[in-house]
Amino acid sequence: MLDVRNLGVVPYQEAQMLMKNLQQQRVDGQIPDTLLILSHPEVVTVGPRARNDGIAPPPDYPSVAVDRGGGLTWHGPGQVVGYPIFKWGERDGESSVADVIYIIESWLIDTLARLGVKGARDDRMQGVWVDGHKVCSIGLSFLRWVSRHGFSVNLCTPEGRVEGVAGCGLATDTTTSLAQLGYDVSTELFVETLVEIIRQRY
């Protein structure tokens, strides 16, 4: 069973609190696997890797520290965010964090393929890449093998904003949106296709 909650625009700190509460409920067996679909007002999340390396977002970006893996990740308008509060390790091919990331990448690559966009993995960084640019970021944390945080997909973000953040050790302009690459993908169709694919597999 999968519970999908489409929440609209949610401030990042509010989403963090919700994720933590749901993660504990999933650990305790009170809820089924739950997928949150939402977007955030503009904010750059700063993971432990960025803090350890002394990397900060540009001064004109709001930011917040987070406990998921990775460095800097931009969130904002025109982006779809998915937080799978899933209990992993109960199905084949889920024996490591790398397996979980591979599965999430597969969801996104297959969703884009159905919408006429060729997404791929890239040795430079986990996530999904299109035409040599990163359009999707993935970062997770776990409690008793239940995930929190998740993925973000840049569909039609404000010009120059995500490109101006050197995400996860990559140079600026490496991360971009599908719209900047010339692809017109509606949020509604992307979410509908993504949820259909996940439901087929879980």
Buried b (16+ CB within 10 A) or exposed e, 127-139: bbbbeebbbbbbb
Nearest to 155 by CA among 101, 117, 103: 117
Active site residue 168: yes
Catalytic residue among 50, 112, 128, 168: 168
What residues does 85 pair with on adjacent strands?
A: 34
Please state, in angstroms and rounded to a whole number, the distance separating the CA atoms of residues 136 and 82: 11
* Cβ(13)–Cβ(43) below 8 Å: no
Calculate Rg over the CA atoms of the chain: 16
Which residue type, as a one-letter code, is found at position 97?
Answer: V
> Helices 187-201 and 97-114 meet at what angle, rounded to 10?
130
Per the structure block, which two tokens stand in for 35? 């997928």
Per the structure block, which two tokens stand in for 186? 């509606």
Coil, strand or helix: which one is 98? helix
Q: Which residues are catalytic?
A: 168
